[in-house]
Amino acid sequence: MTTIAFIGLGNMGGPMAINLKKAGHDVRVFDLSKDAVSKLVAEGATAAFSAQDAVQGAKVVVSMLPASQHVEALFLGKDGAPGLLAAIAKDTLVIDSSTIAAATSQKVAKAADAAGIDFIDAPVSGGTGGAMAGTLTFMVGATASQLERAKPYLEKMGANIFHAGSVGAGQTAKICNNMLLGILMVGTSEAIALGVANGLDPKVLSEIMRRSSGGNWALEKYNPFPGVHENAPASKGYAGGFGTDLMLKDLGLAQDNAIATKSSTPLGGMARAIYAAHSIAGHGGEDFSSVIKMLQKQ
């Protein structure tokens, strides 16, 4: 049994922390949402009063936060307040599963290394269903020895673990994946909306495309049309899942990286513009599959 501090208990982080607890670890949790903490306490986790309290005595720290600024503020501090690295014991392993800029991961890792702390980036793919089932895919940026140290914990939360490269590489792999996901969801939504506008049954059309050359993950497991997949966010009022604003953030990271590397990503840029319009229309808090709403015939 290892004492693990888990910080960030949202739609993804909460189930991940539960799986670590189910694996027999002593999990200390913290989140700004008291309800999120209460759910983990009901699963046997221990509530911490603060992030600093959570890491006391922890051998492993896992973080799952919304964006780069949150990760940097947590670990490095903000407005003169010390960061969490000052409270984490030497030789502790820190696994950051947030999706952030690679440069931020590298900045925090450099400071952690100076303090004798192992910091790796390990963003995930697989959605809330994968988080609950423990079948996530981890894209890891770390040294070979750091990855081996992290594997026993990653394996309790995911089914696929890929060593993308050194620190920051996991984040680069993640933004490439999510850029493709955003593009695929828009394309899938367009196709289903077109078929429905012509009187086709969305379930039948989805199955036709799923088994044909248009098959993709959205059609397989995350259909954007209500009622096609019982457990998809679309069938739950687009609640939970992966928010539109989070997808917009990830697409922004991809575009920032494309500018920095002078890479051509026209479809990624178009997808970002579509999700920005969808967010401005008031759907930022809904699952990203709700983008079908702006493509449907009213």
> Residue 174 catalytic?
yes
Q: Tell me, what DSSP letter sits at residue 94?
A: E
174 alpha-carbon distance from chain centroid: 9
* Residues 241 and 153: beta-carbon distance below 8 Å: no
Amino acid at position 81, single letter:
A
Exposure on the CB side of residue 50, measured as CA atoms within 13 A: 7
Amino acid at position 241, single letter:
G
Residues 31, 50: Cα–Cα separation, whole Å: 8
Q: Give the phi and the psi of residue 124 in degrees, each rounded to 5.
A: -125, 160
Quote the tokens at residue 169. Answer: 């590489």
**Other C-beta atoms lying within 10 Å of the C-beta of residue 32:** 10
Of the candidates 187, 193, 71, 94, the one whose C-alpha atom is nearest the C-alpha of residue 146 is 94
Residues 14, 129: Cα–Cα separation, whole Å: 12
Quote the tokens at residue 160. Answer: 């696929």
**Other C-beta atoms lying within 10 Å of the C-beta of residue 249:** 21
Triad 155, 56, 121: Cα angle to 5°: 40
Q: Catalytic residue, from 174, 221, 262, 297: name it.
A: 174
Helices 266-278 and 244-261: crossing angle in degrees, nearest 10, is 150
Residues 178, 210: Cα–Cα separation, whole Å: 20
> Which of the residues are catalytic?
174
